[in-house]
Amino acid sequence: MSEVSVQQANDRETMLIHTPFHSRSSALNKLNSWENWKGFMVAHEYDDYELEYFAIRSQTGVMDLTPMTKYRITGPDAEAYLNRLVTRDVTKIKVGRVGYTVWCNSDGQVMDDGTIFHLAEDEYRLCSYTHCIDWLMWSAEGFDVEIVDETKQVAALAVQGPTSCSCLMAMGLEGIENLKPFGLTTFPFEGGELMVSRTGFTGDLGYELWVEPALAEALWDQLFAAGKQYLIRPFGLYALDMARKEAGFIQAAVDFVPAEDQVRVGRTRSPFEIGLGWLVDFNKPFFNGRKALLKEKENGSRYRFVMLDIEGNKPANNSFILNKKGKVIGTVTSAGWCPSAKANVAFGQVDAKYGEIGEELITEIYYERELHWTKVLAKSVVVKGPMYDPPRRRATPPAPF
């Protein structure tokens, strides 16, 4: 069997969708390490996840973002509909801006978090982790809006790191250095349009590039040609996970259970319980979950989200969190060593009466080396996020490299 035939056979066996960048990303994936992201085949690791992580922090890292679920919402009631759907005030997200938000069910439990792109008058794009078209359509009853799942119709790249702006400037995107955080703009590209937003999931200077699939390979080629002098390199989901923990970003289905996915009652969380209470705006009109969230604000929450600085360097994955008397008060949802911050960080859910900034807790860690398991009761301090927050993340224009 020829090499091409073998590849085609392997592709059929995966039953995963190739993104428009697959011809380029597969050529660079030396480990042939892939992951299923909502039905798409994306790189988990290209050659060395640690080097990929450091590309994000000291060079430019590029990740295929195409599988991110994307919905186009248009119509005269688009703003009113979104304002009814999500917890923050959508009227404050002006044209050419992006807003981070969450949306809840009627019990005030988080369905998902995501970003709202205000593309034009009465035109938005909602990006999320979960596939939520049914919920969006049910919530649209009575509103004059059209909702289209455009996930497969939009190819996207995350371009992150201190030299990311320099790469885009070298690519010929004039004025990109003036784009402010959470801003978006467009450029003509190969007979079509390239949209660029100053957004990302790494906590560093970074951008996301959005283009029609037919132009994806040209975008990849031009970006990597322009970024060669800046040591541009692709990164996978493993490196992204390291960066987002360091930046204090939570992830759906990891740090909280989306309300539609829960199997057992009581496993979901409200925005207040995952550290996103600042996204709940009670000054705007009625929105999904408002009554339940008002009641929770008055009576108190069940849980509190904490970020822990843990003694030592053993990651606290899936660990119990204890108070000083040794009683279990919560669990770790995400954990890892943060190379740039030089800290052993963990996100956790604890009983609401614990978790004040500066409070000392204990994390029960188990780790295995050479078939031998060791238990560590590590001193842990509740810290005010994020562990890594460089000034260049907000600088406009960013410093040249």
Which residues define the annotated binding site for substrate? 208
Sign of CA dihedral 269, 84, 150, 127: negative
Q: Tokens 């009627």 identify what position?
A: 106
Q: How far apart are CA 149 and CA 172, in angstroms?
A: 31
Amino acid at 306: V
N-terminal to C-terminal alpha carbon distance within the chain:
48
Q: Could you count the other beta carbons within 10 Å of the beta carbon of residue 197?
A: 24
Q: How far apart are CA 385 and CA 341, in angstroms?
A: 12
DSSP 380-401: EEEE-S-S---GGGT-SSPPP-
- Minimal CA–CA distance to 296: which of 113, 108, 106? 108
DSSP 4-35: HHHHHHHHHHHT-EEPTTHHHHHHH-TT-EEE
Going by the annotation, the residues of the binding site are: 208
Q: Name the burial class of residue 141, with classes exposed (0-12), middle (13-18) and buried (19+) by CB atoms within 10 angstroms of its CB.
A: exposed
Amino acid at 234: P
